[in-house]
Structures are given as C-alpha cells and as structure tokens.
Structure 1
Amino acid sequence: MTRMIFVNLPVANLPASMAFYEALGFTNNAQFTDDTAACMVWSEAIYVMLLTHGKWRTFTDRPICPATSSEVSLALALDSREAVDAMNATAAVHGGAADINPVQDLGFMYGRDLTDPDGHVWGPFWMDPAAIPAQ
C-alpha cells in the first residue's frame, strides 16, 4: 500500500473551505464527504480532511487554535515560480490571506506563505534541486 497522509483541519464554514481548496487545485472526494467533513485531494498520497468544529471535537478535546495562531505550516511543492505566485493570488481572492510571511527567494528555491480562511498556514514552493549551491 502506498504511504499516504491525511491532514485533518478544523474549519468554521465547511462549504466556504471546500470552495477555497477547490480554487487552489484540490479536488473533492465525495466518498468521504458529508455535512460534517470533506475530503480534499491534492495528489494520490496527500489528502486534506476539512472537519466542522463539531466533527473535530469527536477526535480530540484539545482546543482549536484561533485563526491568528499557527500550529503547523504545510508545504506543497509546485512545478514553477509562476504556480507559486498563482496559488498565492488565488488564496487572497477566495477568503484566505496571501504573503503572511516574507517571500523566500533563494534562487534555487522560491516560496510564498498563505493561510486558508481559518488561518491554517500553507507554504507553496518551487525548487530546482540541480541548482542548490554546493557546500
């Protein structure tokens, strides 16, 4: 079996969060979606489970972080600098926030951080491993 990751995120507005992730290029897997959760697919191995606060609380009693806090930053490798820029711009017009941190441009690697509508941090980046400077 292929190793996979399911990232579980609590969201305040499930339909709005689904629309946000669809705008970024995720697709919905209806088999694992209902009125309390949505399975958003990034790749064959990466899935994001958007959970209503009520559903989230069935997994843990730990408090949900406020949208102004960061618990984790999730990085997504993209095919180009332009794809990074496009994802960042798309986030801003679909309820998220763009460039929440300074743009990272190391020549061989380029990244821009954004948040979804609930403040979850994503770091789309592009990297050319062949261009990494020798140490």
Structure 2
Amino acid sequence: MAFKSSNIFVNLPVKDLNKSVEFFTKIGFEFNPQFTDENATCMIIGDNIFVMLLVEDFFKSFIDKDIADAAKTTEVIVAISAESRAEVDEIVKRALAADAKPYRDPVDHGFMYSWSFQDLDNHLWELAFMEPSAIEQGE
C-alpha cells in the first residue's frame, strides 16, 4: 500500500533553536518563515520534504515518552540524497566547519558514496550519492 501524501515532515528536538537555525543556514538550508516562531522552524530539504526543528519543551508537548538522548542513542538517521560525490563532500565539510561532529568517515561502495555527521544536538545526518546507472539497474 502506498500513501498518497504530498509532504513529509521529520520532527527533531533541539536545545537552542537560534543556534540550530544558524548551524543549518551555514550548511546551506533555507527555512520557511511562515512556520517559524520561538518554538519551531520549518527547514526546507526538498520540494515536499521538511525538517521541523522544535525546542525540546515544545517537542515534549507532542509525546508521552522521554526525548532520546541523541548523544547516547539513535532513533533516526536523516539521510539526504546529493547530486554528486562532490556535493556530498561539500555539504559535510560545511557542516563540520559549522561545528558539526564527524560521525563516520566517507564510505565508497563504487555505485554509492556517503558521509555522515552529527548536528549540534547529536542527530545523525547522512549525505549520499548513488550513480544513476545503479538506480536504473534496480528498476
């Protein structure tokens, strides 16, 4: 069964919204001011893909469980495709220059290349490029 949803929103808790916005702006992401206030912001990943960065107290208002300590546990890896290997390197290098923590060294499988980092709140982000010919062969 395929859902007919038009958008995806990944929600992530953050300790300091302003620092997170500054961090992701340095990497090259943009934000939708229409969905931004002192509690949250909407980071634009793609045409229909967004990450909602929510201040921890506001994030807690949506859940009945504890917020995972991303420095100790992992609940999600936000994986984003890139247009090229060079773009993977460029984005991760900008993240590291903006105080991201390295997570994994680049991984080169030949047909796929990826590199990962941790943001200011220790959420895992992975940038990946897959050779178009590998995608076509999988069809």
Please confirm whether the aligned pair reaches a TM-score higher than 0.5, indicating the same fold. yes
TM alignment of 1:1-135, pairs within 5 A: 3-68=6-71, 69-98=73-102, 100-131=103-134
Provide Cα deviations, 1:80-127, integer angstroms capped at 9, x if missing partner.
Answer: 1111111111111212112x1242101111000111100111110111
Pairwise CA distance, 1:29:
0.5
Distance of 1:82 and 1:45 partners within structure 2: 24
Structure 2 CA distance for aligned equivalents of residues 25 and 122 of structure 1: 14
Q: Quick one: which amino acid aligns to residue 110 of structure 1?
A: Y
C-alpha displacement of 1:70:
1.1
After TM superposition, the score normalised by the length of structure 1 is: 0.90
Q: Aligned partners of 2:108 and 2:121: how far apart in 1?
A: 26
Number of aligned residue pairs: 133
Shift of 1:40: 0.8
Higher strand share: 2
Query: Counterparts of 1:57 and 1:85 in 2: how far apart (Å)?
Result: 34
Q: Displacement of 1:18 after TM fit?
A: 0.7
Q: C-alpha separation between the residues in 2 aligned to 1:70 and 1:111?
A: 18
Unmatched tracts of structure 1, length 5 or more:
none
Poorly superposed stretches of 4+, deviation over 4 Å: none
Superposed CA RMSD in Å reads 1.8
Q: Where does structure 2 lack aligned partners over 5 or more consecutive residues?
A: none
**Alignment partner of 1:82: what SS?**
helix
